[in-house]
Structure 1
């Protein structure tokens, strides 16, 4: 994996908090920032994925399938409603 340098400008208060958290976690500040950026990218990609899936959804068909749920056989042990 190649690495590159990037000058990051953070507000002093944000930098201090990031340093505290990195120290608490026992990792280098650089490692903490890398993990934070990776988590944010993952969250954004996940949101995008679900938006794309929702756009392709067929709501009436899904509701029709759900309306049939549990009508085709006996209750499976453990699935009883209390």
Structure 2
């Protein structure tokens, strides 16, 4: 495990202490969890962008052309927006 010094505004530190106490965990656990959540979020976005870049418009259009051109089933219709 690595030790890390982080400088926080007093107000942020105080709020972290309050939230950690409310959750029954240490400030270290709270910050480690917050960092892990942020890391997972960034990595997920990177993955999704990478996968999206592999897509081809021609593939999309091919599969879209396979969708039958029929009315939506009852109850699934598109609702027209109300204009005023």
1:48 counterpart residue number: 46
Question: Scaled by the length of structure 2, what TM-score is found?
Answer: 0.73
Question: Scaled by the length of structure 1, what TM-score is found?
Answer: 0.75
1:33 counterpart residue number: 31
Deviation at 1:6, TM superposition (A): 1.1
Q: How many Å separate the matches in 2 of 1:21 and 1:66?
A: 48
Q: How many Å separate the matches in 1 of 2:57 and 2:18?
A: 47
1:5 counterpart residue number: 3
2:55 counterpart residue number: 57
Structure 1 stretches lacking a partner, 5+ long: 72-80
Q: How many Å separate the matches in 1 of 2:63 and 2:39?
A: 34
Structure 2 stretches lacking a partner, 5+ long: 75-84
Alignment length (residue pairs): 71
Instruction: State the Cα RMSD in Å.
Output: 1.6
Q: How many Å separate the matches in 1 of 2:16 and 2:58?
A: 47
Q: How many Å separate the matches in 2 of 1:41 and 1:66?
A: 35
